[in-house]
Amino acid sequence: MRQRSQLNGLDYILREVSILNPNGSLKINDAVVSKIYHKAEEITQRVVTRREKPGVDWDEKLDNILTSRVWGFPSMLLLLGVVFWLTVAGANYPSQVIASALFWGQDRLSDFLYWLQAPAWVKGFFVEGMYRCLAWVVSVMLPPMAIFFPCFSLLEDLGYLPRVAFNLDRFFKTAGAHGKQALTMSMGFGCNAAGVVACRIIESPRERLIAMLTNNFVPCNGRFPTLIALAGLLVFGLGNSLATTAVVVGVVLFGIAVTLAVSWVLSQTLLKGVPSSFTLELPPYRKPQVGKIIVRSIFDRTLFVLGRAVCVAAPAGAVIWLLANIRIGNLSLLAHGANWLNPLAQQMGLDGFILMAFILGLPANEIVLPILIMGYLAAGAMTELESLQDLYHLFVVQHGWTWVTAVCMMLFSLLHFPCGTTLWTIWRESGSVKWACLAAFIPLGIACTVCFIAAQTARILGLV
Amino acid sequence: MGLTHQSCGSGVNREIFQRGMVPGAAYVIALAGNPNTGKSTLFNALTGLNQHTGNWPGKTVLRAEGKFIFQGRVYNLIDLPGTYSLLAHSAEEQVARDYLCFGKPDATIVVVDATCLERNLNLVLQVLEITAKVVVCVNLMDEAKRKNIEINIESLSAELGVPVVAATAREGAGLAALQQAVAGIADGTVKTSPYIVKYDEAIEHCIRKLEPKLKELVGEQFNSRWLALRLLDGDETVIRSLKKWLAEGTRVRAAAGGEILA
């Protein structure tokens, strides 16, 4: 009863409000805004003293270059190139060191199990399955991440991301999307799930959905190592990290182009509408907390990746080993699956193992390449794999890769469905299974189409 | 420091840290401020958590909650989304405003950017209209110094009628003073006399008519002057929140706050 009377009380007050202020004639909002702004100005004048401005305004100088019509894009490209070159060139050596250390560990583990007189399947399951997959993830994935991540964080701390949004605003507007999508896209480089959550900064639901559905077209941290390794294979023989960098940058630019194209199509079809306007403040450049970034990248990010590797790669390795060692007829399950997928995969310039690796890699993109290597190793004879040469030998010599295979796998990696975590996040953020499904199937469709066209074109033109 | 494991991967889906896990929490403290004034950095510095920080406005999209202990008491700190105003033109503004009004924190820290005080003061004045339990933290003092900007902290405090603390959260400077000031406000040993904006006589007249009736309706729970102003403005979001609060009849602070923030 008391609650009802309270609600009635509110209605009574609201009625009185409509008498006091009929049809908003008092213009309260204007009065509030002008009074408050006036007061803020007044106080500021009394408490702030500004001595002469410092001689050089570095913010302005930097912005004149980084957001200028002429130099905005070249400088963006240059920065992107430098970051990737650092990642490619810097990751090479640590990768090899970690690989040799971890595979030395594998031999010791084998020795130990031999000494224990463990049955062969124990050694296979734990050492060749779980440990090896883990070792692969750590050695291939960790160094590029450990370098790219601090670089990305440095740019973010510096205040460069809003400048990217500023530069790209025009394009996103033309595509019918929101200018802030450039920010969420940039976050996607770090992690697609984080990019999807960052879409909350976009207020219009229509444009937020576009941003969420297209976020995975920029390669996340988990896919970079795959792209870098494949780019390395593609330019193998040139032995040049600059060439690898150029390929990776090209792939990233293609991803951005696809982002814009898909945004445009979505805003013409499923998510019709006009882009809303917005204001984005360009924050001052701030000196990044370099020490903190590095420490955090190592303790927070690296340990996180290691943890994730243990959680995902070890079971994945075990599953692969089981698939490769449980036989039906005289073929393993893995080979059955790969054979079954092969005709479809061949049309897209891939093979059955590659497609299988992408499907099994759904929980985390980091493990796609290790799964592929595991699959090939289980089918082949090679046991040691410590460098790009070994990888080249395994892929090209033993499994008949051509440059088209490498290109198609890069395209597929760039465009295919996002990882399970990202899909889950999209489902949670959009609150609908429909959009989460679309977030998986639109990219999958695009990946298949693009790979198909690329492979068929190359074949028709007789390039392979 | 960029992305942390809490802000990417599966971590993004884990928004609520420690909610209800701080049984000994004596006070709830809200952290408000304009975008990109270093709220998250301050939050991390106070709580020791690793909330994602980065130099771009609007980056804090995740709700964060953490605790800090000062002089033996546990304070629950809630990081609100960065907003330029509280007039509820956007979802973030509404979340922040509803929390300040209906969540009834024991103290609110408003973080302001020392390099552009004027714009930031707009928000401070709007917060003061809602609650008197405010500590203003003038952050980024190092940047202001580089830009040759000097701020008279004492006179700012006198103008606003609430404690003002200068800080450089990145270097941890001023944090102890801030905690001290927050403690004083939260336990009620420090009384404030916030500057309240006076409007034209026509508006003030209406407020005077409505205020007592609102006070009768909601008691001392909420600021009835501010509610009167919002109702006069025909602010649907406030009316909705108020109706909800009345219908539930709940007087449990935590529940009301959590509900609206959720």
Query: What proportion of chain B, given as a percentage, has pLDDT over 90?
Result: 32
Distance (Å, rounded) from C-alpha A98 to C-alpha A386?
9
Asked if residue B257 has pLDDT above 50, the reply is no
**Which of A74-78, A227-231, A397-401, B41-45 bottoms out in mean pLDDT, i.e. has the lowest?**
A397-401
Per-residue pLDDT, averaged over A275-289, amounts to 78
pLDDT tens digits for B115-132? 989 999 999 999 999 999
Tokens 């009802």 map to which residue?
Answer: A4
Range of the domain at A107: 69-274+290-460
- The alpha carbon of residue A21 is apart from the nearest alpha carbon of chain B, in Å, by 7
Among A192-196, A219-223, A347-351, B232-236, which range has the highest average pLDDT? Answer: A347-351
Which residue, among A26, A66, A147, A184, would best test binding to B if mutated, counting the most B CBs under 10 Å from its CB? A26
Strand-pairing partners, residue B135, are B109
The two counts, helices (H) then strands (E), for chain B are: 10, 7
Structure tokens belonging to residue A104:
């030395």
**A153·B118 Cβ contact <8 A:** no
The residue of chain B nearest to residue A47, with distances taken between CA atoms, is B152
Amino acid identity, residue A262? Answer: V
Asked if residue A304 has pLDDT above 90, the reply is no
Asked if residue A110 has pLDDT above 80, the reply is yes
Our CA angle for B100, B105, B107, nearest 5°, is: 100
Is residue A362 domain-resident? yes
Is residue A36 domain-resident? no
- The alpha carbon of residue A300 is apart from the nearest alpha carbon of chain B, in Å, by 6
Is residue A190 domain-resident? yes
In this prediction, residue B109 has a pLDDT band, given cuts at 50, 70 and 90, of: very high
**A31·B59 Cβ contact <8 A:** no
The residue of chain B nearest to residue A291, with distances taken between CA atoms, is B1
The residue of chain B nearest to residue A153, with distances taken between CA atoms, is B2
Closest partner residue to A17 among B153, B159, B210, by Cβ? B210
Structure tokens belonging to residue A178:
């929101």
Q: pTM of the entire structure?
A: 0.77
Q: What φ, ψ does residue B249 adopt, rounded to 5°?
A: 60, 15
In this prediction, residue B102 has a pLDDT band, given cuts at 50, 70 and 90, of: confident
Identify the pLDDT of residue B10. 58
Identify the pLDDT of residue A1. 47
User: Which structural domains are found in chain B, ordered by start?
Assistant: 9-186 (3.40.50.300), 201-261 (no CATH)
Cα–Cα nearest to B134, from B201, B191, B70, B206: B191
> Is residue A334 within 8 Å of A378, Cβ to Cβ?
yes
**A54·B146 Cβ contact <8 A:** yes
Chain A contact set for B50 (CB, 8 A): 296, 300
Structure tokens belonging to residue A163:
């400048």
**Which of A203-217, A222-236, A306-320 bottoms out in mean pLDDT, i.e. has the lowest?**
A306-320
Is residue A51 domain-resident? no
> Is residue A317 within 8 Å of A133, Cβ to Cβ?
yes
Q: Work out how many domains chain A is built from and give that number.
A: 1
The residue of chain A nearest to residue B146, with distances taken between CA atoms, is A54
Structure tokens belonging to residue A141:
């994935």
Identify the pLDDT of residue B33. 92
Q: What is the mean pLDDT of chain A?
A: 85
Q: What φ, ψ does residue B61 adopt, rounded to 5°?
A: -105, -15
The residue of chain A nearest to residue B236, with distances taken between CA atoms, is A14
Structure tokens belonging to residue A263:
């945004």
Closest partner residue to B118 among A12, A40, A149, by Cβ? A40
- The alpha carbon of residue A360 is apart from the nearest alpha carbon of chain B, in Å, by 18
Q: Which comes out higher in pLDDT, residue A292 or A405?
A: A405
Is residue A302 domain-resident? yes
Structure tokens belonging to residue B26:
């004596």
**A28·B90 Cβ contact <8 A:** no
Cβ-Cβ contacts under 8 Å between A and B: the total is 224
Is residue A43 domain-resident? no
**Which of A222-236, A365-379, B123-137, B236-250 bottoms out in mean pLDDT, i.e. has the lowest?**
B236-250
Asked if residue A2 has pLDDT above 90, the reply is no
pLDDT tens digits for B182-233? 999 999 999 999 999 888 888 899 899 888 888 888 877 788 899 898 888 8
Identify the pLDDT of residue B17. 36
Is residue A28 domain-resident? no
Is residue A44 domain-resident? no
Cα–Cα nearest to B80, from B110, B122, B112: B110
Chain A contact set for B61 (CB, 8 A): 197-198, 200-201
Our CA angle for B244, A204, A159, nearest 5°, is: 110
Overall residue count recorded for chain B in this entry? 262
Per-residue pLDDT, averaged over A330-345, amounts to 88
Q: What is the mean pLDDT of chain B?
A: 81
Distance (Å, rounded) from C-alpha B170 to C-alpha A161?
20
In this prediction, residue A384 has a pLDDT band, given cuts at 50, 70 and 90, of: low
**A33·B87 Cβ contact <8 A:** yes
Long-range contacts of A101-109 (CB under 8 A, 24+ apart): A102/A135, A102/A138, A102/A139, A103/A135, A103/A384, A103/A385, A103/A386, A105/A131, A105/A135, A106/A131, A106/A132, A106/A135
Tokens 């000994």 map to which residue?
Answer: B24
Which residue, among B3, B138, B148, would best test binding to A if mutated, counting the most A CBs under 10 Å from its CB? B3
Identify the pLDDT of residue A410. 95
pLDDT tens digits for A14-43? 888 888 877 777 778 888 888 999 999 999
In this prediction, residue B64 has a pLDDT band, given cuts at 50, 70 and 90, of: confident
- The alpha carbon of residue A117 is apart from the nearest alpha carbon of chain B, in Å, by 40
In this prediction, residue A423 has a pLDDT band, given cuts at 50, 70 and 90, of: very high
Query: What proportion of chain B, given as a percentage, has pLDDT over 70?
Result: 79
pLDDT tens digits for B19-39? 334 556 789 999 999 988 888
CA torsion, ordered B92, B95, B98, B99, to nearest 10 deg: -120
Residue B42, sorted as left (phi over 0), alpha (psi -120 to 50) or beta, turns out to be alpha
The residue of chain B nearest to residue A59, with distances taken between CA atoms, is B147
Distance (Å, rounded) from C-alpha A422 to C-alpha A430?
12
